[in-house]
């Protein structure tokens, strides 16, 4: 055991190799299971002629089934092991999305979501945390931020790659090629890196040498919360609520971001704006992970992150869809907080819960947020279409605008024709503008309101009363901040 430790020390702490293996898993997990379905929706609609609403329902089912699996992921890891579950997830995702491509009937598409939902869940946020967390305590923020950056890289690389491959090879061949590469890569990485543990290699977390005073593990003083006690915990409820609202707002805005900036920027620059948001997500996550002091209140950090995104949403709303500088500034502010919404909740769990509850709490928080954001794009668009007077608008405005060229039909029963939208008449109901730009503005208004509530929830979860009464202490002065957190490594050269 001492020989193993000496060899590993000579070549660098093995935990960072695990981090980069988790990074690669995240590239495939998000690139296939998260960013892939929106591309597949269009491909299936074009190939089969099925309604977009039908295929969209399958995408929602994919994420909901994934949420069910995530809620039980800690149990699966304990029973079958991390390596076996991760390898099975890669195979399930590859076969499942091949099933999407081969589906000839709608029921076959929904049946395939059973496989893809499991594949996404076991290579997503909770799974990445399970791979990395045993190796790090003090440096866990930096380690997780590095691994989670694979999610953003997966979106940058695999999203356009899916489009190119489907256009060149067809959906079936593209799904088979990417699926085979995913299975081979994750199978090898799992056996080579993910199957080892610090204890099995005679190592301490963070690569500390034997005899080094260990930093008290955050959350170690909290009482265990077995079974249903976790669901009754104020710490868990507030964290799950804030994370669910945050990701709902984020996914909703991302789904409509392209439509928001196209009128002012054009198609090419709108694509640049989407890439800018992803680059800012990587920068924000990396900065937070490497600069967050070990003893910092991570709930307050999450609240500040939501506050930054609230400012971004407000700037986008102020831009009115026309001001290019304000649109780009809003994208940057909003994008800087995108990555932290995924990486900070596991760090809060580490700080607030007993080590025995950490894996289960992370899985359940992830499951709650995933079940929530599965409805974000369609839900926010439906809310936006309803307008400010949505309870009366659908029959009077939306359907009329769609089916009658923008003019409302005359009402039966002798009631007065209200005229074209925007004209209005005395005593008539409010008009509703259903142009794409107006819809985007109403989406932003709802998102702004959502973030107003979200900021309140963030402040609620940052309340010291939601934390354990006894806080873990750090050796040395409390003024030690970034100095002891920065290992002699760099992340993502070129970004």
What is the 3 state secondary structure string of 436-462?
HHHHHHHHHHHHHHHHHHHHHHHHHHC
- Can you give the residue ranges of every domain in the chain? 11-208, 229-405+432-468
Helix (H, G, I), strand (E, B) or coil at 423: coil
Q: Could you tell me if residue 218 is left (phi over 0), alpha (psi between -120 and 50 degrees) or otherwise beta?
A: beta
Q: What is the pTM (predicted TM-score) of this model?
A: 0.75
How high is the pLDDT of residue 313? 85
The span from the first CA to the last CA of the chain, in angstroms, equals 38
- Tell me what the mean pLDDT of segment 388-400 comes to: 41
Residues 199-220 have pLDDT tens digits of 888 888 888 777 665 544 444 5
Report yes or no: 331 and 276 within 8 Å, Cβ to Cβ.
yes
Closest by CA to 40, choosing from 85, 98, 80, 82, is 98
Alpha-helix runs per DSSP H in 193-233: none
Choose the weakest-confidence range: 266-280, 307-321, 444-458.
444-458
- Tell me what the mean pLDDT of segment 52-77 comes to: 92
273 vs 9, which has greater pLDDT?
Answer: 273
Residues 443-471 have pLDDT tens digits of 555 555 555 555 555 545 555 444 544 44
Cα 474 from Cα 480, distance rounded (Å): 9
Q: Does pLDDT of 45 surpass 70? A: yes
Choose the weakest-confidence range: 219-233, 241-255, 364-378.
219-233
Q: In CATH, what number does 229-405+432-468 get?
A: 1.20.1250.20
Helix (H, G, I), strand (E, B) or coil at 318: helix
- Tell me what the mean pLDDT of segment 28-34 comes to: 94
How high is the pLDDT of residue 452? 52
| Triad 224, 227, 232: Cα angle to 5° | 80
276 vs 129, which has greater pLDDT?
Answer: 129
Cα 433 from Cα 374, distance rounded (Å): 27
Cα 91 from Cα 179, distance rounded (Å): 8
Alpha-helix runs per DSSP H in 374-435: 376-386, 393, 399-403
**Band of the pLDDT at 417, cuts 50, 70, 90?**
very low
Cα 88 from Cα 183, distance rounded (Å): 9
CA distances from 393 to 317, 384, 400, 410 (A): 23, 11, 10, 15
Cα 47 from Cα 33, distance rounded (Å): 20
Residues 98-156 have pLDDT tens digits of 999 999 999 999 999 999 999 999 999 999 999 999 999 888 999 999 999 999 999 88
Choose the weakest-confidence range: 297-311, 328-342, 412-426.
412-426
CA distances from 332 to 288, 289, 337, 383 (A): 16, 18, 9, 25
Mean of the per-residue pLDDT values of the chain: 77
Q: Which two tokens stand for residue 132?
A: 């990395």
How high is the pLDDT of residue 439? 58
Q: What's the CA dihedral at 229, 230, 234, 235 to 10 degrees?
A: 150
Q: 285: how many CB neighbours lie within 10 A of its CB?
A: 29
- Tell me what the mean pLDDT of segment 383-395 comes to: 48
Q: Does pLDDT of 48 surpass 50? A: yes
How high is the pLDDT of residue 456? 55
Q: 195: how many CB neighbours lie within 10 A of its CB?
A: 14
How high is the pLDDT of residue 437? 55
Tell me, rounded to whole angstroms, the distance of Cα 135 from its chain centroid: 23
**Band of the pLDDT at 391, cuts 50, 70, 90?**
very low
Q: Does pLDDT of 190 surpass 80? A: yes
How high is the pLDDT of residue 265? 82
The reply to whether 229-405+432-468 shares the fold of 11-208 is yes
- Most confident listed range (95-99, 284-288, 357-361, 459-463): 95-99
Cα 406 from Cα 381, distance rounded (Å): 19
How high is the pLDDT of residue 492? 28
How high is the pLDDT of residue 447? 57
Percent of the chain with pLDDT over 70: 71
Place of tokens 């020390």: 9
Choose the weakest-confidence range: 227-241, 346-360, 451-465.
451-465
| Triad 418, 424, 426: Cα angle to 5° | 85
- Tell me what the mean pLDDT of segment 342-358 comes to: 89
How high is the pLDDT of residue 479? 35
Residues 363-377 have pLDDT tens digits of 999 999 998 888 876
- Tell me what the mean pLDDT of segment 12-36 comes to: 94
Cα 78 from Cα 458, distance rounded (Å): 32
Residue 45 has, within 13 A of its CA and on its CB side, a CA count of: 15
Q: What's the CA dihedral at 74, 204, 344, 379 to 10 degrees?
A: -20
Report yes or no: 198 and 135 within 8 Å, Cβ to Cβ.
yes
How high is the pLDDT of residue 14? 93
432 vs 486, which has greater pLDDT?
Answer: 432
CATH number 3.40.50.300 given to 11-208: no
Quick one: 438 exposed, middle or buried, by C-beta within 10 A (0-12, 13-18, 19+)?
middle
């Amino acid at each position: 055991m001492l020989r193993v430790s000496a060899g590993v020390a000579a070549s660098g702490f093995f935990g960072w190799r695990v981090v980069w293996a988790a990074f690669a898993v995240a590239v495939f997990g998000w690139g296939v299971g998260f960013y892939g379905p929106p591309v597949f929706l269009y491909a299936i609609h074009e190939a089969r002629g099925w309604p977009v609403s039908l295929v969209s329902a399958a995408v929602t089912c994919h994420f909901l089934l994934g949420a069910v699996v995530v809620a039980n992921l800690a149990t699966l890891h304990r029973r079958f092991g991390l390596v076996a579950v991760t390898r099975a997830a890669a195979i399930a995702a590859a076969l499942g999305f091949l099933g999407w491509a081969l589906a000839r009937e709608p029921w076959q598409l929904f049946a395939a979501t059973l496989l893809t939902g499991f594949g996404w869940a076991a290579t997503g946020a909770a799974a990445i945390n399970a791979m990395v967390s045993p190796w790090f305590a003090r440096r866990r923020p930096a380690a997780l931020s590095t691994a989670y950056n694979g999610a953003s890289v997966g979106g940058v690389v695999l999203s356009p790659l899916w489009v190119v491959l489907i256009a060149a090879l067809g959906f079936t061949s593209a799904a088979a090629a990417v699926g085979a590469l995913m299975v081979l890569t994750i199978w090898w990485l799992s056996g080579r890196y993910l199957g080892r543990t610090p204890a099995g290699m005679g190592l301490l977390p963070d690569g500390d040498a034997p005899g080094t005073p260990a930093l008290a593990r955050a959350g170690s003083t909290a009482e265990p919360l077995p079974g249903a006690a976790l669901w009754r915990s104020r710490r868990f409820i507030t964290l799950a609520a804030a994370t669910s609202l945050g990701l709902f707002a984020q996914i909703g805005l991302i789904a409509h971001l392209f439509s928001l900036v196209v009128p002012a920027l054009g198609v090419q620059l709108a694509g640049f704006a989407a890439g800018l948001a992803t680059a800012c997500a990587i920068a924000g996550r990396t900065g937070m992970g490497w600069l967050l002091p070990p003893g910092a209140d991570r709930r307050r950090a999450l609240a500040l992150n939501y506050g930054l995104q609230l400012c971004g949403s407000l700037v986008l709303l102020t831009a009115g869809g026309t001001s290019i500088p304000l649109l780009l500034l809003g994208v940057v502010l909003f994008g800087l907080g995108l990555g932290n919404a995924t990486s900070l909740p596991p760090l809060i769990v580490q700080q607030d819960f007993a080590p025995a509850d950490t894996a289960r709490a992370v899985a359940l928080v992830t499951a709650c947020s995933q079940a929530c954001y599965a409805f974000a794009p369609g839900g926010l668009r439906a809310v936006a279409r309803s307008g400010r007077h949505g309870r009366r608008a659908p029959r009077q405005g939306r359907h009329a605008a769609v089916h009658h060229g923008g003019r409302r039909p005359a009402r039966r029963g002798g009631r007065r024709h209200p005229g074209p939208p925007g004209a209005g008449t005395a005593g008539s109901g409010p008009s509703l503008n259903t142009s794409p730009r107006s819809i985007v503005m109403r989406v932003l208004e709802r998102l702004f309101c959502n973030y107003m509530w979200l900021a309140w929830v963030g402040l609620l979860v940052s309340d010291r009363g939601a934390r354990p009464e006894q806080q873990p202490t750090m050796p040395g002065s409390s003024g030690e901040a970034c100095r002891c957190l920065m290992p002699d490594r760099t992340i993502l050269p070129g970004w």
